[in-house]
Structure 1
Amino acid sequence: MIQTAQHTLLDYQRDGFAVVEQVYAPAEIRALLAVIEQAGAQGGSFRRTADVFAIRNLLAELPALRPLIWNERFKELLHELLPAPQHLVKAIYFDKPAGSNWVVAWHQDLMVAVDRRAELPGFGPWNVRPEGVNVQPPRQYLDGICTLRIHLDACDAGNGALRVVPGSHRHGVIPAADIADFTPHAQVCPVPAGAVMLMKPLTLHASHRSLDERPRRVIHLEFSSQRLPAGLRWREDAAPAS
């Protein structure tokens, strides 16, 4: 059983990110990777290049991951962060292979996955991708989302750890022209294998290319306790594994 240190949760609220260590044991990480490595790479949810392997709609594509992810430590952490029910908003797997030149520019996670398009005040822009419909919701929904990034490898500046701007989430949606005003305050967020990085979607973050031969494999999950209006649903919403 874990009990997240109070200062970790306070750091998360203040800075927009924090790290909770020892959520997954080495054997649990191996089990997660075994399921992922057996997956094919067909269809709109999969992207595989020399620099990245990504799976969107992860738990729909690989449902065997669900009981492995929802171990007791993860469930306790999720309940500390959000009141029930916790709706799954987004589930993605990212693999930055050794020596990858994949760079992610400074951004906030503004788009959420929904089941359909609906004309609602404050919702937009919309886009439709092979994996489904995405939209930028009003800020109140973004503020209510908690991201949990499960690190399957130790991660630091050498293999593409996220760079984050502490406190940037408190400024709401930051116009692209203003992002450069925030980035001088950025810091690297190293994360050990088996840990979970907590992050708010409005936290400015970026990722440089890998500088060494270590992989950086991450399961990225977003949760919210809010319901969407007018019958709109989080596309990946499903009950947690028991």
Structure 2
Amino acid sequence: MTWREPLERDGFTFLRNVFAPEAVAAALAEWEEITRRHADDGAVLTGESGPAYGARNLLDLWPGVVGLLRVEPLLGALLDVLGAHAGVVRVLYFDKPPGHSWALPWHKDYSIAVRAPGGPALFTKPTVKAGVPHVIAPQSVLDRALTVRIHLDDMTPDNGPLRVIPGSHRFYNQTNDEPRDPVTLECRAGDALLMRPLVTHASGHSKTDAGLHRRIVHLECAADATLPDGYEWKWYARLNDRGLGG
């Protein structure tokens, strides 16, 4: 498996050409209809005068989004890494619309969506995002998780591509990362990036005159349907089942 070695070594890998142009176009059309119907929902993030640049709670807004992961070779890769009980636990949407770009500094993805606060031992810093409780998860949970970023546009040096630190997924705290040169990722629409949550990553602004989107469906998957300390996932959609789980 040519994709598995870099995932284990570097914490990220690409599956190329997972979705044909027709499938990408269909996903974009479906998402545009979702945003039209939910334009006033606080989970759809828009600027004062610009288009949607992101959205939360896609498992509520667009339950069918799970179907994007139930195609080969993507489904087989996820089940191979996470096991037969793998499920989707949170889905986000990102865009850098022309004229309304944004950037993120170096960080790791620690936050998970839960039903309600549980015990205080392993999970910390409870917050609420778009009406959904979130907590910071420990490494024991995040090491059994995998993020899939499905690219609906080409990602190029012109539209604020993702930058990553190879191997940083082995360390919970960013300050402990080994000194490694960052890598700038590029891909085509229809490619899927598999990435461990603890990979240190960042992205910059799109070039002012690029006129490009950078639309991504960001799906967070976990190996286990249950969480320790009395917590429950807010969502858990089994990958090898139909519909949403509890």
TM-score, normalisation: structure 2:
0.87
Query: How far apart, in 2, do the equivalents of 1:43 and 1:96 lie?
Result: 20
Counterpart for residue 223 of structure 1: 221
Q: Which moved more, 1:48-57 or 1:126-135?
A: 48-57
Q: What stretches of structure 2 of length at least 5 have no aligned partner?
A: none
1:26 and 2:21 correspond: yes
Aligned residue identity for 2:236: D
1:143 and 2:143 correspond: yes
Query: How far apart, in 2, do the equivalents of 1:74 and 1:20 lie?
Result: 7
Q: Which moved more, 1:81-90 or 1:45-54?
A: 45-54
What CA RMSD, in Å, does the superposition of the two structures yield over aligned residues? 2.0
The 3 A distance-change label for structure 1 pair 10 and 69 is closer
Query: How far apart, in 2, do the equivalents of 1:170 and 1:219 lie?
Result: 25
Aligned residue identity for 1:197: L
1:76 and 2:72 correspond: no
Counterpart for residue 56 of structure 1: 56
Query: How far apart, in 2, do the equivalents of 1:198 and 1:83 lie?
Result: 15
Contact 1:117 1:133 in 2 (8 A): yes
Q: Which moved more, 1:195-204 or 1:61-70?
A: 61-70
Query: How far apart, in 2, do the equivalents of 1:195 and 1:68 lie?
Result: 12
SS in 2 for 1:158: coil
Counterpart for residue 237 of structure 1: 236
SS in 2 for 1:223: strand
Task: Report deviation, 1:116.
Answer: 0.6
Task: Report deviation, 1:52.
Answer: 5.2
Q: Deviations over 1:127-163 (max 9, x none)?
A: 1223311111211111111011000111022111100
Contact 1:152 1:218 in 2 (8 A): yes
Aligned residue identity for 1:192: R
Counterpart for residue 3 of structure 1: none
Q: For 1:93-172, what aligned pairs fall within 5 Å after superposition? A: 93-172=93-172
Runs of 4+ in 1 over 4 A off after TM superposition: none
Task: Report deviation, 1:68.
Answer: 4.6
The percentage of counterpart residues that share the same residue type is 33
Task: Report deviation, 1:51.
Answer: 7.3
The 3 A distance-change label for structure 1 pair 95 and 199 is same
Task: Report deviation, 1:20.
Answer: 0.8
Counterpart for residue 45 of structure 1: 43
Q: For 1:189-228, what aligned pairs fall within 5 Å after superposition? A: 189-211=185-207, 212-226=210-224, 227-228=226-227
SS in 2 for 1:147: strand
> How many residues are paired up?
233
Aligned residue identity for 1:44: G
Q: What stretches of structure 1 of length at least 5 have no aligned partner?
A: 1-5
Task: Report deviation, 1:100.
Answer: 3.4
Q: Deviations over 1:69-119 (max 9, x none)?
A: 422433222222210111212100111112433011110001111111112
The 3 A distance-change label for structure 1 pair 66 and 124 is same
The 3 A distance-change label for structure 1 pair 123 and 68 is closer
SS in 1 for 2:30: helix
Query: How far apart, in 1, do the equivalents of 2:42 and 2:51 lie?
Result: 18
Q: Deviations over 1:193-225 (max 9, x none)?
A: 101011111111001000111110000011111
Query: How far apart, in 2, do the equivalents of 1:171 and 1:20 lie?
Result: 24
Aligned residue identity for 2:85: P
Task: Report deviation, 1:64.
Answer: 3.4
Query: How far apart, in 2, do the equivalents of 1:134 and 1:118 lie?
Result: 11
Q: Deviations over 1:18-76 (max 9, x none)?
A: 11101111111111111110123222211112375211111211123333542243322
Contact 2:91 2:217 in 1 (8 A): yes
Query: How far apart, in 2, do the equivalents of 1:141 and 1:202 lie?
Result: 11
Query: How far apart, in 2, do the equivalents of 1:108 and 1:51 lie?
Result: 27
